[in-house]
Amino acid sequence: MSELADEYRLEYFEEEGFVRKECPECGNHFWTRDEDRVTCGEPPCEEYDFIDDPGFDQAYSLAEMREVFLSFFEDHDHERIDPYPVAANRWRDDVLLTQASIYDFQPLVTSGETPPPANPLTVSQPCIRMQDIDNVGKTGRHTMAFEMMAHHAFNTREETDEEYAYEGEVYWKSHTVELCDELLESMGADITEVTYIEDPWVGGGNAGPAIEVIYKGLELATLVFMCMEQDPDGEYELKDGNTYSFMDTYIVDTGYGLERWTWMSQGTATVYEAIYPEMIDFLKDNAGIDHTEAEAELVGRAARLSGNLDIDDVDDVEAARGDIADKLGVSVEELRDLVEPLEDIYAIADHCRTLAYMLGDGIVPSNVGTGYLARMVLRRTKRLCDTVGVDAPLDELVDMQAARLDYANRDTIRDIVRTEVEKYRETLERGGRRVESLAEEYAEKGEPIPTDELIELYDSHGIQPDMVEEIAAEAGADVDVPDDFYSLVAQRQETPDAGAETADDEADERFEDLPETEKLYYDDQQRTQFEAVVLDVFEREDGYDIVLDQTMFYPEGGGQPADTGILSTDDATVDVVDVQIQDGVICHRTDDRLGKGEFVNGQVDGGRRRQLMRHHTATHIVIHAAREHFGEHVRQAGAQKGVDSSRIDFSHYDRVTREDVKAIEARANEIVMENTAVTQEWPDRHDAEADHGFDLYQGGIPPGEQIRLIHVDEDVQACGGTHVARTGEIGTIKILNAERVQDGVERITFAAGAAAIEATQTKEDALYDAAATLDVSPEEVPETAARFFEEWKDRGKQIEELKEQLASARAGGGGSGEEVEIDETTAVIDRIDSDMDELRATATAIAEEGSVAVLGSGQGGAQFVVAVPDGSAVNAGDVVGELAAKVGGGGGGPPDFAQGGGPNVEDLDDALEDAPDVLRQVLDA
């Protein structure tokens, strides 16, 4: 750490007369204006000093504070930008949720590939940190949802030769601290009390010096100066044990906690009361929490005390509870009864805000990804409501936060919450029944419910151990929840190795030197013929990769398969079977080679290409129609175009019904019939984002300063695929199927153009065939099929009845069977060539008459049934075993009724002849 010490010697500190000190408590170095200052000022070295004594001139609400911050930086030459969604996986695949403002600009802007929307800029970015979920409500200062107010500046070093999307230095460390100081002063803070602690930052492969800003015991901001990257040869070893070196880009990354600034301005006991007071009041009222003045005073003192303690997570809170109770002169139980409901209410308010951000940004609850996180938060919130006795519907609570945050899709949010709460209720009901029967079972045995049952209940059925305890107690069963329960669950999840990762193809040096191929397929998407020069040819295992200077062949990408076709010179023609793009260079996989430097004539398979274009444009239309039909939360989650059919996966919180399909199909074909123009444009990416928002990037985020937009009707998407010129060229769109691929993700398969006609005809053929078989018109098929099915069932019942009648008739002496006296009883031995059902019925009937039945059948192999009347000493299982052995098989069953058989039908009669002997033998044994 000390290696970076020089990085903190800022001009600003020098000009303002700051001194650098070392905190005697924690050993950290910090900068202060106060020469007499001893500690760094951050708990636990020092205590909160702003509760009931706000550190700013006036109290601000959350919204007011946000505005003060953003306009301060606007006044200091920053451009204000709109916040990004909390679902960070919309633009990057390494994280699920936005956890800091810098996430907005990773990885494309921080690496210098793409320019920032403005430079410098300021933003108040909603963030969600799931890792704080257990602390919320308990520590008094943790929230899962928060807004990180920030200002960022993106700089590149003067001396670099590389090209970056931004150039030169906007400002760096000194000015950043100066701005922070000025902001604090403008709020009325006593800046001699502010300390700047040196705290190098490392994360996500980047690093740099950073400064924590502490005021009155509260960390108000972190100023990060990202300027290093992980480098095995780097000269700086930082706290994560890796070595780092300086980058060409260096970025000011600040984070000012909106909630904390608001709290500082109000000095309430906890942060929650400062940021959503009206919601806290509502929840308290709804849960019937009504404190006497003495109680309220006690709660306030407890909050202040816990604020002053070294509390980083919920375990500390539990540990500290006893100390706090002592200091307040009450029992731990008394304190807990008073404080716990409040903690739950704080958590509910925070969780509802989290849900409002998530659902408001279009996250759909699911069993995967961000959807799973949303579901987890929702269920947890519902449990908290039930525990503390809040009976207001959850959708109303989430809506209160959504209204505060000004979301436009509040109806959808409420709908999603209602659907999810209902699903959860069903899960609980199902689980409850399961636990009840399990509890009764073990209560009867007098055993506690074993751990592996608990693990399965949780892992497979989503039932928390504490819920099992509750229900089991009612049934009188014990439950022993082991301390390491969750690690046992994790163990069960472990899989026996995922297998080695596939090794990357080694980089081809000749390949890297090639220029980017000129893409003719964007100039005129209708053309299929072109001329080009062969730049290079690579021999591959199963053919050749030919690189041209320009091409009309579309490489596989964005869910659109590659074009096929031919390349020909004066004396040779090769087939193009696949086309791939890598770093802008397009490779044509061919069956034979062409000479380097030759002129070629390229011809794309036009029929195939046109069909792919129809399907690609149709994909945009279908998703657009689905969005119109279901709402804005519908978002592409993957797509694959083909020649015969295409499919599109999209987020939606309910099943797609037949009615939905019809409506979407109708709307999609309306757009086709309107025959509107499909247009492309290449706007600046930030203009495009400003105009259309992040919904542009349904198929992924492309790099670069300009992006390609495709307009179809009112739909706009960033897309690299090829499209028809007018929607009418699609001909028709036929939805073939709708299915659920994951919870919260639906798949629609459809066909366009000729493929739609073919698909429809195939389906009609099936209907016509069925109609012909039933000898009715297609319209009558459903009714007739239903009638036939009913009749078929009736006949089954009739046959069964007749078999039973036949059986009792046979038993009554109508059969042809041989009767033999064995011991005291009569045995009927007979061969009836019928199925097992009839054999069984007959045997049962004979046994009811008081005789032993030994029946054989040659149908479907040699089969036996032996039935024995009550009180007979014959063991039917043994008899069948012996007989079946004679036909090369086996058999068995209970002593009074057994079945068996074997493959050798020709030995059946012999076996039956031996039956009397077998019976006697079995009796004697």
Q: Are 698 and 637 in contact (CB under 8 A)?
A: no
Q: Within the chain, how many helices (H) and strands (E) appear?
A: 24, 33
| Smallest distance, RNA to C-beta of residue 867, A | 6
**Is 461 a binder of RNA (CB under 7 A)?**
yes
Of 878-917, binders to RNA (CB under 7 A) are 884, 889-894, 896-903
Does the annotation flag 76 for ligand binding? Answer: no
Beta carbon nearer to RNA, 38 or 376: 376
| Smallest distance, RNA to C-beta of residue 430, A | 5
What does 813-855 look like in DSSP terms, one character per residue? IIS--EEEEETTEEEEEEE--S-HHHHHHHHHHHHHTT-EEEE
| Smallest distance, RNA to C-beta of residue 837, A | 7
| Smallest distance, RNA to C-beta of residue 102, A | 21
**Is 782 a binder of RNA (CB under 7 A)?**
no
Query: CB under 8 Å to 455, separation ≥6 — which residues?
Result: 485, 488, 489, 492
**Is 433 a binder of RNA (CB under 7 A)?**
yes
Does the annotation flag 620 for ligand binding? Answer: yes
Which amino acid is it at 28?
A: N
Beta carbon nearer to RNA, 166 or 372: 372
| Smallest distance, RNA to C-beta of residue 475, A | 15
Beta carbon nearer to RNA, 434 or 609: 434
Q: At what angle do helices 293-308 and 332-360 cross, to 10 degrees?
A: 70
Query: CB under 8 Å to 406, separation ≥6 — which residues?
Result: none
Q: How many CB atoms lie within 10 A of CB 397?
A: 26
Does the annotation flag 723 for ligand binding? Answer: yes
Tell me the site size for RNA, rule CB under 7 A. 55
The CA-to-CA distance between both ends of the chain, in Å, stands at: 90
Binding mask 339-378 for RNA (x = CB under 7 A): ----------------------------xxx--x--xx--
Using the rule CB under 7 A, which residue among 797, 816, 821, 871 binds RNA? Answer: 797
Query: What CA–CA distance (Å, rounded) separates 607 from 478?
Result: 71
Chain centroid, CA 368 distance in Å: 3
User: CA nearest 138: which of 291, 408, 336?
Assistant: 336
Q: How many CB atoms lie within 10 A of CB 76?
A: 15
**Is 489 a binder of RNA (CB under 7 A)?**
yes
Half-sphere exposure of 663 (CA within 13 A, CB side): 12
Stretch that binds RNA, among 183-191, 288-296, 562-570, 861-869 (CB under 7 A): 861-869
Using the rule CB under 7 A, which residue among 5, 19, 408, 490 binds RNA? Answer: 490
Using the rule CB under 7 A, which residue among 331, 460, 529, 805 binds RNA? Answer: 460
Query: What CA–CA distance (Å, rounded) separates 218 from 40?
Result: 11
**Is 739 a binder of RNA (CB under 7 A)?**
yes
Beta carbon nearer to RNA, 133 or 678: 133
| Smallest distance, RNA to C-beta of residue 367, A | 4
Token pair 């083909």 is found at 642
| Cα torsion 784, 788, 790, 794: sign | positive
Q: Are 45 and 219 in contact (CB under 8 A)?
A: no
Beta carbon nearer to RNA, 187 or 637: 637
Beta carbon nearer to RNA, 236 or 750: 750
Query: What CA–CA distance (Å, rounded) separates 457 from 478?
Result: 15
Binding mask 646-675 for RNA (x = CB under 7 A): ---------x--------------------
The rounded radius of gyration (Å) of the Cα atoms in the chain is 38
| Smallest distance, RNA to C-beta of residue 869, A | 10
Using the rule CB under 7 A, which residue among 841, 852, 912, 918 binds RNA? Answer: 841
**Is 458 a binder of RNA (CB under 7 A)?**
yes
Does the annotation flag 616 for ligand binding? Answer: yes
| Smallest distance, RNA to C-beta of residue 95, A | 10
**Is 787 a binder of RNA (CB under 7 A)?**
no
- Structure letter (DSSP) for residue 639: E
Beta carbon nearer to RNA, 431 or 561: 431
**Is 502 a binder of RNA (CB under 7 A)?**
no
- Structure letter (DSSP) for residue 727: G
Give, in order, the Cα–Cα distances in Å from 300 to each of 268, 273, 661.
Answer: 9, 11, 57
**Is 798 a binder of RNA (CB under 7 A)?**
no
Token pair 């015991």 is found at 217
| Smallest distance, RNA to C-beta of residue 461, A | 5
Query: What CA–CA distance (Å, rounded) separates 210 from 358?
Result: 30
Q: Please give the annotated binding residues, written as ranges.
A: 616, 620, 719, 723
Q: Please give the annotated binding residues for Zn(2+), written as ranges.
A: 616, 620, 719, 723
Residues that bind RNA (CB under 7 A): 367-369, 372, 375-376, 379, 423-424, 426-427, 430, 433-434, 437, 456, 458-462, 489-490, 492-493, 495, 655, 739-743, 793, 797, 840-841, 844, 861, 863, 867, 884, 889-894, 896-903
